[in-house]
Chains A and B, each alone.
Chain A
Amino acid sequence: MTTMNSCEINPRSMTRKQALLLPDEGKRLYFDRVWLKHPRVDQTLDQLTIHTASSSGKSIILLIGPTGVGKSTLIQTLEEQFIQSRMQEIERDPGFIPVAMMVVPASGERAFSWRMFYSSLGGALEEPLMDRKLQTRHLDGRTTVCLPGGSSTVADMRMAVEKIIAMRRTQLIVIDEAVPILHQASGNNLVNHMDAIKTLADMGATLVLVGSYDLLELASLNDQVARRTGLVHFTRYQTGVAKDEESFRKAVRMLQNRLPIQDLPDLTEFVEDLHVASLGCVGLLKSILSTALGYALKNGGKWSDEMLEQSLESLDNYGTILKQTIEGEAKIKDACVGSSNFKSLRKKSEAILAAASAAARYCA
């Protein structure tokens, strides 16, 4: 059996009928590569585009959303838009890399590996020989470089990356799955980590950190970080909200139209159940349908409704995801951009001043 090449299968150019002729592996790949740009993506993208503009004054954007809501699709679309808007300049200047995307690597160790981080970032910026970087030293009128005994230090790599961001005129750096930066640091370490990220942002590029609600910690580290950080919440489709429910129904329909299964029943009959099971996240919905597709293909390409139920998350997993999502949504309510108005800011100011005066009275 020949291995399918992912580049040959593009759901944008290949119809469902053509996909039905593919072998099972190709069908799976076809559905995996269906990336849906739904209205919530558009809304969040608009917010992101506004805040990533250099005039916004926000150099670090935290893109936060529940797991499976479609963050990866969103950043893919963001990259596409970003590149399209600068295509003329890209064609004119072959060294120009307007946007770099990376996934934070998990080191497998206790501490977060900045070496791996800078190495991945260097890779995203197409920078060669990240392990051979030299740092320039100016001392007593002499300009020297340290001869690397083995590989370069983290400081060398950081300075090299900073220099290359400036040289490549990179305007946007998207760091996906950014939560490991927090998980392996606490207290002062976390501040140090944020300082390192802030330095990258100071080179003129806007940093977009993508992750779940844990990223909220970063925004409230100190006033310096708070001033530079913008928060964009990628929300799910809520149950009980008519507009959201309608959008979710469309998402189910769109995905169903791309499922390469013969004689597929109308899945919109299960839309309410699917909405609950996927928490209104299109990514989770796709995951459920993808697993069901696997079952159907194993069954000779024949679909049954039981397969849909078999594909659902376990009760424990579902509970954990739901709990974290609801807690996160509660925490983020006042943190994301556009959540304030003059009245609410005045109220907040009065509350903080009252608390400060009470504390002062107590001390006296």
Chain B
Amino acid sequence: MIMEDPEWELVDPDFGGQLPPRSRLVNLAPIGLGTAQVESLGSYFMRLADTHSLKPTSLAWEVVFPERSDNSWACEDGWKHPYFNGIGLPTQEWVSRLERLTKVDGINSLTLGFLRGRVSTLGLVSKNNRWCPTCFKEDAEQGIPYGRLLWTLNTVTCCLKHQTKLIGNCNCDKKSAWTNETAKPLSNICGNCSRDLGRTQIQQPKPANSDEMRRAELVADLLLGGSTLAEQTPDRDIADFLEHSIRFHFDGKASRLGQRLDISKSTLHGWIHRRHFPSFTQIIAIAESHGCSIANVLCGRSDVVNLNVLSKRVARTKMRFANSRRILDWDAIDKALNEYLHVELPPTLVEVAKQLGISRYMLRRNRPSICRAISAKWIEWSITMANHRAHALESEVRKAAQSLMEQGVNPTRRKILKIASPLNPITRVTPRIAAIFMEICMKSKRNGNAADPNAATVSPN
């Protein structure tokens, strides 16, 4: 055996196998991670597809869901809708698959997944895409335009940075003719006209009001602490918060908190007993009314409630309620009601209330006797009028019967009513009219000759 030269080496033919596995897709970093301006999952997926020069649909079908499972809704065009960033189970499946394919951590932070099991899905995300054109414009100047997760929340209606209302319409004309080109699927490109949504020609956004800004700030705070919220085990939740709040701030009376939040006591009890979750808008209202963050409400941290805000808000609410009540001049109302009692043509109570501009319930509650008198007078008058109409009709019927018998015609009901009440011959047959018919008929039979005018004579009464 000849000795080998130690300086000579063998190349490992399996070297390629030692290379750590690479991510199947480019590990594209999400924008704004850890800030309130964090990118949305839909925007991230569209950027990922663009990086690979693929249509998002192709990427979804062929790479993300190659086995073509039940996620077809999202594969086809779900990624362009705001609900793609919500808390649904398909979104979580997307997150785990994209994390596996890109080996990027924190894709879950691009969704509202951290709110799962804490809020109701109802009205959480907006139905249509909205954006801030100024943000898009600035993004394009500084780097890459992207859609924000904040914009997908239904309660956020303004841009926190530019203090303007979000826009949901490009005001573009629809694609006029069919071409083999389509708008590039990106957050900042209009799907209809393929133009940049951050362009200056688009409508000027209106300034946001203080309420909108306050709500947006609360939600932005929540997104900032979203990852920590997701990591926490929900040992305390909103039910604990409400229970504590009722006990310590509302004297143990749920109705008072319910009144404060403009919800019924039973709804509040539903939340406390975890039968259902409050909507995101209601959670914001709870946070606002308690002067604390949304995260504190969701984590049941009722000890951080700002008592000053709580008391101020109560006072303000009460004041607002007091202002909302009209001060009525009951003397003038009494005078008017007395006048209505003596008018020749008595009105109904509804008409009186309408003319006075007050609800009839309020009138009844405050002036029951005079209201009863007005109603009684109207009923009396209406009965008199009905009797009067009945007498007139009886007279007409008798006259018609007389006329028919004089002509030698058998006075049947139909023929009589055709003459007496030509407009509505059937419905006006009351029991009393029917009795008169019977009387005429009997007389006609007794006479035996319908053609005899004397036999058909009917007494007026």
Residues on A close to B: CB < 8 A?
A: 6-7, 10-12, 33-39, 73, 76-77, 79-80, 83, 90-91, 93-97, 126-129, 132-137, 141-147, 149, 156, 159-160, 163-164, 167-168, 250-251, 253-254, 256-258, 266, 268
Contact = CB atoms under 8 A, between A and B. Distances in A.
6 contacts: A36-B11, A95-B25, A126-B24, A141-B199, A164-B26, A254-B5
B409 to A, nearest CB: 85
A135 to B, nearest CB: 7
B184 A95 contact: no
Given A132-B62, A144-B183, A94 B23 contact: yes
B67 interface: no
B182 A141 contact: no
B54 A129 contact: yes
A76 B13 CA distance: 8
B52 A143 contact: no
Interface string B52-84: 111100110011000000000000000000000
B211 interface: no
A144 B2 contact: no
B42 to A, nearest CB: 17
B6 to A, nearest CB: 11
Contacts of B180: 146-147, 149
A147 B8 contact: no
B25 A128 contact: yes
A37 B9 contact: yes
B24 A33 contact: no
B27 A35 contact: no
Contacts of A136: 50, 53, 184
A127 B27 CA distance: 12
A45 to B, nearest CB: 11
Nearest to A149: B180
A81 to B, nearest CB: 10
Contacts of B20: 90-91, 94
B53 A133 contact: yes
Given A142-B183, A250-B8, 16 more contacts: A11-B10, A12-B13, A39-B8, A73-B11, A91-B20, A95-B103, A146-B180, A147-B181, A163-B51, A164-B52, A167-B26, A167-B28, A251-B8, A253-B5, A254-B4, A257-B1
- Grouping DSSP codes into helix (H, G, I), strand (E, B) and loop, the A interface class, with mixed when no group exceeds half, is mixed
Contacts of B13: 6, 10-12, 33, 35, 76
B143 interface: no
Contacts of B186: 143
Interface in B178-212: 180-186, 189, 193-196, 199
Nearest to A137: B181
Nearest to B103: A94
A9 to B, nearest CB: 9
A135 B181 contact: no
A39 B59 CA distance: 47
Nearest to A252: B2
Contacts of B51: 163-164, 167
A145 B182 contact: yes
Nearest to B102: A95
Nearest to B199: A141
A253 B26 contact: no
A268 B3 CA distance: 12
Nearest to A79: B15
A134 B55 contact: yes
Given A7-B17, A146-B181, A268 B53 contact: no
Contact of A163 (B23, B53, B55): B53
A156 B58 CA distance: 15
Given A35-B13, A266-B2, A144 B182 contact: yes
Contacts of B195: 141-143
A257 B8 CA distance: 12
A145 B103 contact: no
B329 interface: no
A268 B1 CA distance: 12
Nearest to A143: B184
A294 B63 CA distance: 44
Contacts of B14: 7, 10
A331 to B, nearest CB: 29
B251 interface: no
Pairs A-B, 6 closest by C-beta atoms? A95-B27, A160-B53, A35-B11, A142-B194, A94-B103, A144-B181
B53 A126 contact: no
B2 A168 contact: no
- Most chain B beta carbons < 10 A, residue from A6, A37, A143, A266: A143
Nearest to B9: A37
B62 to A, nearest CB: 6
Nearest to B1: A257
A126 B22 contact: yes
Interface string B380-405: 00000000000000000000000000
A26 B10 CA distance: 18
Given A134-B54, A146-B180, A77 B11 contact: yes
A138 to B, nearest CB: 9
A12 B12 contact: yes
A95 B17 contact: no
A60 B186 CA distance: 35
A128 B63 contact: yes
B19 interface: yes
B77 to A, nearest CB: 14
A126 B186 CA distance: 24
A6 B14 CA distance: 9
